[in-house]
Homo-oligomer: A and B are copies of this chain.
């Protein structure tokens, strides 16, 4: 095994593959990156068994790659990343010299690193699942950023730790909920498909980091795994087992109150009150009337805050409603846009937050009871 490669391309590909690697992997081989030198390409693989990333390097206009001898080896990710990042050479030479001892050199510096034999690395099946569709990168990015924050971080109901992708016909519904709040994004696909899979939020974060520009992403799913094919990189993840709860019936359709407000003003107001916590939670209270909308917050230990929401406009009978400030903050930040609309049914009923500029994304938050 012997090849020469552009430092910059090699480093970027190593970084990409290493993202799948966990510091807590039980299998020693999984702390390494598998490097395969084929006839005309280098394939890099990183995995923690839940998520696996494979990326391919070829000779091309902006990448020098000269393969003199084929072969495979596994090198500790942190070492190879350090070496390649810190070299001052434009071209790196990579040569297996004795069993698993590997020489990596650039300019006047030369490293001899103890690798692991490729045979010790678990076989990972990167075959493409049958059900597949295309999405623009920016659409996939929005799906992830607008929903995944609402997943649960508690292992008691594992299925809530992922985003549910449910497709019937050409409508894809992406739903996340931790049972106190919910985010739902709807996307129209070109093809008609039928699947229902729940992808771990953690894996989607790795997909997000791998998205690179404005190209198309191919997404392929079966009942075992999901694959995101982004340029020369495949991000593959296991799915979360178990039936995802039916969430549509949770979302109210009729409302008695409506609040419209400038997104940025409300984000800033919630942020200002966020240090006033009870048992670590910032509870905010909206006191709404057609004459005035006030945001307040109170804690016996810290003190209180009140703020008039001058950009708010409210329709309906006077209403007081309290909720977790962070949930509302994250929901309206995810919506984006300059104006958000709260549609409410009553003091203790879930309420819906939407953007006036995008009707494909909906956020739902459950109120909390306060005694004050």
Give the B-binding residues of A (Cβ under 8 A): 76, 78-79, 82-83, 86-88, 101, 108-114, 268-269, 271-272, 274-275, 301-310
Given the contacts A101-B303, A108-B307, A108-B310, A271 and B113 also touching, CB distance less than 8 Å = no
The listed residue (B88, B112, B307) touching A268 by CB distance below 8 A is B88
**Bound Cα distance from A79 to B276, whole angstroms:** 8
Q: Are B301 and A110 in contact (CB-based, < 8 A)?
A: no
Inter-chain CA distance A306–B76, complex, in Å, is: 19
CA A313 – CA B101 in complex, angstroms? 32
Q: Give A96 Cβ to nearest chain B Cβ, in Å.
A: 13
Chain B residue with the shortest CB-CB distance to A307:
B109
- Write 22 A-B pairs (CB below 8 A) sorted by A numbering: A78-B275, A79-B302, A82-B272, A82-B275, A83-B275, A86-B268, A86-B271, A87-B272, A88-B268, A101-B303, A108-B308, A108-B309, A108-B310, A109-B269, A110-B305, A110-B307, A111-B304, A111-B305, A112-B303, A112-B305, A114-B301, A114-B303
The main secondary structure of chain A at its interface with chain B is mixed
Which residues of chain B are near A308, meaning CB under 8 Å?
A: 108
Query: Contact: B114 with A302, CB < 8 Å?
Result: yes
Q: How far is the CB of A320 from chain B (nearest CB, A)?
A: 18
CB distance from A182 to the nearest CB of B (A): 28
Residue ID in chain B nearest A109 by CB atoms: B307
Find out whether the CB atom of B88 lies under 8 angstroms from the CB atom of A303: no
Set of chain B residues within 8 Å of A268, measured between Cβ atoms: 86, 88
Could you list 12 further interchain pairs (A-B, Cβ under 8 angstroms) beyond the known A82-B274, A114-B303? A79-B302, A83-B272, A86-B271, A87-B272, A88-B268, A101-B303, A108-B307, A108-B308, A109-B272, A109-B306, A111-B305, A113-B302
Chain B hits for A112, CB < 8 A? 303-305
Chain B residues positioned under 8 Å from A78 (CB to CB) = 275
Kindly report which residue of chain B lies nearest to residue A269, judged by CB atoms.
B109
Per the bound structure, the CA–CA distance linking A213 and B235 in Å amounts to: 50
Cα A79 to Cα B275 in complex, Å, equals 7
- Residues of the B chain whose Cβ atoms lie less than 8 Å from the Cβ of A302: 76, 79, 113-114
Which B residues are in CB contact (< 8 Å) with A306?
109-110
How far apart are the CA atoms of A92 and B112 in the complex, in Å? 62
Least Cβ distance of A115 to chain B in Å?
Answer: 9
Q: Which residues of B contact A88 (CB under 8 A)?
A: 268
